[in-house]
Amino acid sequence: MLGFGRKDWDDAAYARQMREACDRFSEEPSTDSEWTSFGRRLAYVRGDFLDAQAYRSLAQRLPDLDRRWRTEGNRMFFLATLPSLYAGIAERLGAAGLVNRDTEGPFTRLMIEKPFGHDLTSAQTLNDALHRVFREEQIFRIDHYLGKETVQNLLVLRFANSVFETLWNRRHIDQVQITASETFGVENRGAYYEESGVLRDMVQNHLLQLLALIAMEPPLSFQADDVRDHKVEVLRALRPLSGKDALDNVVLGQYGPSADGVMPGYRQEPGVAPDSVTPTYAALRVFVDNWRWQGVPFYLRTGKRLARGCVEVMIQFKAVPHCLFGDAQACERIEPNRLVICLQPGESIQFHFGAKTPGTVLSVDPVRMHFGFRETHPDGTLSPYQRLVLGALRDDASLFARADGVEAAWRFVTPILEAFETSPPDDFPDYAAGSEGPLEAELLLRRDRQAWRPLSD
Ligand code: BG6
């Protein structure tokens, strides 16, 4: 592994920094012997990201490392840099002869992290710039949500179990709720977050990716492009929300200080303007206009500094058409079946159904079947980044965002951003840190005579 950056380090200093970082951040600190074996494979080249000469130094150093590590000219560039530098770095890598575009010979791959642009136009510009140097198949765009074990489990649940697929459509599903609720605030990322806000930070990528996995058609195979083709179809089928439709179907919010004054409001966070109108919460009412999903609302919500930290997908099936058990009151207690997929924490899948209450009166109680991922697999699993880096090394792009998918997501989100830029909310902050979020988000569902389902425990 070779580090490339502006710090004035040599190989040894770089290796020391890496060891410190590993000891600090990894779940299992490495032993001295593990580190000796790994540390000697670390090298460093100093250079400015936009200086063409630095890339020539990099190019001179690599053949020697290829010989030592028997890497045969195969390269994967991971840009842990400001996203504004992606295009410039790709161009310079190409100009220095460091990119093999051919399918023959040693491979060259590029890994980058979101944000991939900040709206549709900038995403297209970035994709064009990357494609001038790399083929699309060489680019691995990380959405770390896709590396989560339980996110992959969504696909297994759907396509390895025939019982669900039969019910997975508008005839049987009443609504879908997708929640990514966080208890922490923007911490020390205020400056980044001011530019991004919740729609760019969470909705354009993570939430829409979850929606696409839930709503996609069965792919022909698990090959990257078969999966991604179907995910993109879902994103393209999202009913557009612009102007008044966006304002009517999307609620944005921003946290203020907690009721007890202990947690600061967003506007008090470092790097945030005291009159900022950047949203930290979003709730959306979304429709997928295709045969399978016509008329089924997908309610999405995500926010920072909320009461619960939880990522969850709730599929609610239609209610029984006619109640046989008891009077009107007893019938109201019969809840529709729900499949609740908790992605974190405590990954689990639960099926909620009605069972008879013990006793002489025939009435129904809500009960649930529970599958706990950790209980079944106590040894744990790979972290999202371990899974993604391995995926890219193995040339498996199924867990990475493709250019057309990124653009389709921006095509949906950009008009929403524009609608709120034209009519910025004037009631921020509108929810207290540590609360359930803005009241408006409740009202959005109440219009459909629905409510957010309580998150599972
Ligand atoms: C990141 C966002 O992409 O995902 C953060 O920038 C967010 O704002 C984070 O907190 C959530 O990821 P995880 O894996 O902690 O749920």
Above 80 in pLDDT, residue 457? Answer: no
Ligand 1 site, residue 182, Cβ cutoff 6 A:
yes
pLDDT for the residue 29: 78
Structure confidence by residue, pLDDT tens digits, 95-136:
999 999 999 999 999 999 999 999 999 999 999 999 999 999
Mutate to test the pocket of ligand 1, among 141, 201, 388 (most ligand atoms within 8 A of CB): 201
Higher pLDDT: 29 or 224? It is 224
Ligand 1 site, residue 312, Cβ cutoff 6 A:
no
Above 80 in pLDDT, residue 380? Answer: no
Closest CA to 179 of 295, 296, 299, 279: 299
Clarify whether 206 is annotated catalytic. Answer: yes
Q: Tell me the average pLDDT of the chain.
A: 94
Above 90 in pLDDT, residue 137? Answer: yes
pLDDT for the residue 331: 79
Rg of the chain, C-alpha, whole Å: 24
Give the DSSP letter of residue 147. Answer: G
Ligand 1 site, residue 269, Cβ cutoff 6 A:
no
Single-letter amino acid code for the residue at 48: D
Residue-range domains of the chain with CATH: 2-142 (3.40.50.720), 148-381+402-446 (3.30.360.10)
Note whether 251 and 275 are within 8 A (CB): no
Above 90 in pLDDT, residue 227? Answer: yes
Average pLDDT over residues 147-173: 92
From 144, 206, 230, 377, the catalytic residue? 206
pLDDT for the residue 277: 96
pLDDT for the residue 328: 78
Above 70 in pLDDT, residue 30? Answer: yes
Above 80 in pLDDT, residue 436? Answer: yes
Above 90 in pLDDT, residue 215? Answer: yes
Average pLDDT over residues 293-317: 97
pLDDT for the residue 223: 92
Structure confidence by residue, pLDDT tens digits, 396-427:
999 999 999 999 999 999 999 999 999 999 99
Instruction: Give the confidence band of 302 by pLDDT, cuts at 50, 70, 90.
Output: very high
What share of the chain in percent tops pLDDT 70? 100
Phi, psi of 179 (to 5 degrees): -125, 135
Count the alpha carbons within 13 Å of 379 in the hemisphere toward its beta carbon: 0
Note whether 67 and 73 are within 8 A (CB): no
Structure confidence by residue, pLDDT tens digits, 360-378:
877 888 899 999 988 888 8
Instruction: Give the confidence band of 55 by pLDDT, cuts at 50, 70, 90.
Output: very high
How many Cβ atoms from other residues are within 10 Å of residue 136's Cβ?
13
Ligand 1 site, residue 143, Cβ cutoff 6 A:
no
Cβ within 8 Å of residue 197, ≥6 positions away:
278, 279, 280
